[in-house]
Structure 1
Amino acid sequence: MLTVTARDLAGNTATDTLTVTFSDTTAPVATIASPTSNPTYSTTTSSLTLGGTASDAVGVTQVTWANNRGGSGTATGTTSWSGSGIVLQSGSNVLTVTARDAAGNTASDTLTVTFTGFTFTDDPISAQSGVIKAVYLTELRTAINSLRTARGQLAYSWTDSTLTTGSTQVKAVHLTELRTALNQAYQAAVRTAPTYTDLSVVAGTTVIKAVHINELRSAVRAL
């Protein structure tokens, strides 16, 4: 409200008022700067952190992100913001960042991220293959820990943390741990755990086969 007051030499006054409503119709500006300012990006990891800036004539109140393949959240910060733990699905993921001001005006920026998924040695492993290599387990451990990290879980603590081809014997416990770690990632994603051949793995009795590794690889890619 604007008030105008007139005063004469005797000190007499009179006023008039005008109520002015300011309508903010100017949209803010949202910009994605990290991991790239380009419109497209490719990665081999299943989790991504976005970062960037936002500005507005009056002030930015909130910055949010959304993935067209599923998932959304609120970024940390406004004029300088970041969004972490964004889970990617295999293939194309269109990430949209939206800045909002106090008047409800919004503006967005997008980044199309291609997640190339996980690659494995000897994929698929032939059922006739009688050799389960240490590298198969190492690759699965890396992939599963990536899925766990993307869902806010700690990396799994593995038995025989370093597996050496020709030196480390592949054991039943290694297979059991892979299944357990992956099942926990499925649980965190509110997904039904995979089903496995030879559900009970017994040390000294269960022979680790190609089907066990191939099942885990398929389950990793499906999450």
Structure 2
Amino acid sequence: MTGPVMNDLKPLKIHALALFASIALTACSGETAPASPPLEGAAIGGDFELVDENGDTVREADFAGQNRVVYFGYAFCPDVCPVDMQKLGQAMRVLEESDPALAERITPIFVSVDPARDTPEVLTQFTDSFHPRMVGLSGSRAAIDAAAERYGVYYQLGEDDGSGNYLVDHSNNAVLFGPEGEPLAILPLQDSPDAIAETLVRWAR
């Protein structure tokens, strides 16, 4: 190959080497485009009017500025709800150790679909046993149904055996919402508290 052609190719070669070096540095640094939250744009969430553990009316707007984890269940649940809330409470403690500022910006909310048995006193005892900042909410059947519909929750009361004992079939998703009430992600309650905490760190705002 003649000299002039070689000279013409030198700038291209230098440019290519610089480009590859740039790509390599980006790969090594782990820099990638930020992913969108899994539930971004999902049509779930919104306003509700429920009653808290003190008997006071609470609306969704009362949590403005806070990330919130919303879970629908019931305190008399024999297995699923206590296990899920135990994991969520443990995940919050993991986060309080690793990132206390972020933990302060997250409010776990347990909404009971069983107001007949889950009185404010019962809810207080239930939520406090898992985490001191977990908020228990319930309300009238109409208010619960309206909230369940907005949050995409299924539940069905079981047959009463005559003694006031019955089960409730329900979905058990813990959904993370952002400071403006925007849906962000479903927490992996089937995994370890550490994995749940990692999901909070990744998607909470």
Please indicate, yes or no, whether the TM-score normalized by the shorter chain is above 0.5.
no
Q: Give the structure with the larger helix fraction.
A: 2
Q: Report the TM-score range of the alignment, normalised by the length of the smaller protein.
A: under 0.3
Q: Identify the structure with bigger relative contact order (alpha carbons < 8 Å, sequence gap 6+).
A: 2
Structure 1 length as normaliser, TM-score? 0.23
Structure 2 length as normaliser, TM-score? 0.25
